Amino acid sequence: MVEILIGTCGYSYNELVGPVYPEWAKQKDFLGLYAAKFPTVELDFAYYAMPKAPQLAKMVEDGGPGLTFSIKAHQSLTHKIDAYMWHEDAKTYLQAIEPLRVAGRLETVLFQFPYAFHYTTENRRYLDKLLTAFEGVPATVEFRTADWYTGRVIEALQKRGVPLVSLDMPELKGLPPLMDVVTGPTAYIRLHGRNKEAWWGSDTAARYDYLYTDNEIEAWAARIKRIEVQADRILVYFNNHPKGKAVQNAEMLEKMLVKAGLAP
């Protein structure tokens, strides 16, 4: 049976104290408490601040013996790309994530590109060079604009064995289509919520403030059942983190998959 791991994007939000973590919990306790609930986590902080090896080594220790990590690429590799510096940033990043790799706890590095990163010759060549620089390290790609969804791109990712993220987000003009194309041995799913009204605003907390309904989660359980025949491993991360909604929906999906005979 394919292995399905469900988690959330981030774990260290103070607003989880009460709804998810006990009232006594401090920041230092969060990862251990999280690991008691879920088998995997997506580390989003690495986008904002370049991670450091001792920091990630400590997370491996705090997460206990089984927690695995997907980790977002730093913004210098996806959003604020310097044509002359990105090679050095890539080297720095690769050195930082070495503790995850050595411990056998690295699921993948997530390259999440912004809506402004369009399908152009320059960007296509950059992506090719970037994935080459990370050769030997599991990598996953997420596009936020529809123009990357071409046969040529999908074929190129399949040749590299690099997963293309299956997305759940509002159905708005220019955003990626709702499609599940498995381009590597691992399928990667990210659920961002469907908050159309706040999606283009500057308030990211409002953008992801969305609670999936039972019917919406049931629909995803059905999609996962179709995906699982194409993949060896499925990673599912909920990014609708405000007020603990990601945790709530992750637990809902887990129960539904168990009911469907696809126990994570």
Continuous segment of H or E residues that includes residue 249: helix 245-259
Q: What is the pLDDT of residue 202?
A: 81
Give CA–CA dist 198/206, Å, rounded. Answer: 6
Sign of CA dihedral 194, 198, 200, 201: negative
Residue environment code for 212-238, b if the CB has 16+ CB neighbours within 10 A, otherwise e: beeebbbebbeebeebbeebebbbbbb
Kindly compute the dihedral angle of the four CA atoms of residues 142, 146, 148, 149, in this order, to the nearest 10 degrees: 90
- Ranges of the chain whose pLDDT falls below 70: 263-264
pLDDT at 264: 55
190-217 pLDDT, tens digit per residue, is 999 999 999 998 888 899 999 999 999 9
The residue behind tokens 């994007």 is 9
Q: What's the pLDDT at 203?
A: 84
Model pLDDT, residue 263: 66
Could you give the CA distance from residue 259 to residue 56 in angstroms, rounded to a whole number?
Answer: 35
Residues 6+ apart with CB under 8 A from 36: none
The pLDDT value given to residue 116: 96
Q: What angle do CA 247, 252, 256 make, to 5 degrees?
A: 150
What does pTM read for this prediction?
0.96
Give the tokens for residue 222: 């059905």
Contact 186, 203 (CB under 8 A): no
Residue 183: per-residue pLDDT? 97
H/E run at residue 74: none
CA distance 126 to 167: 23
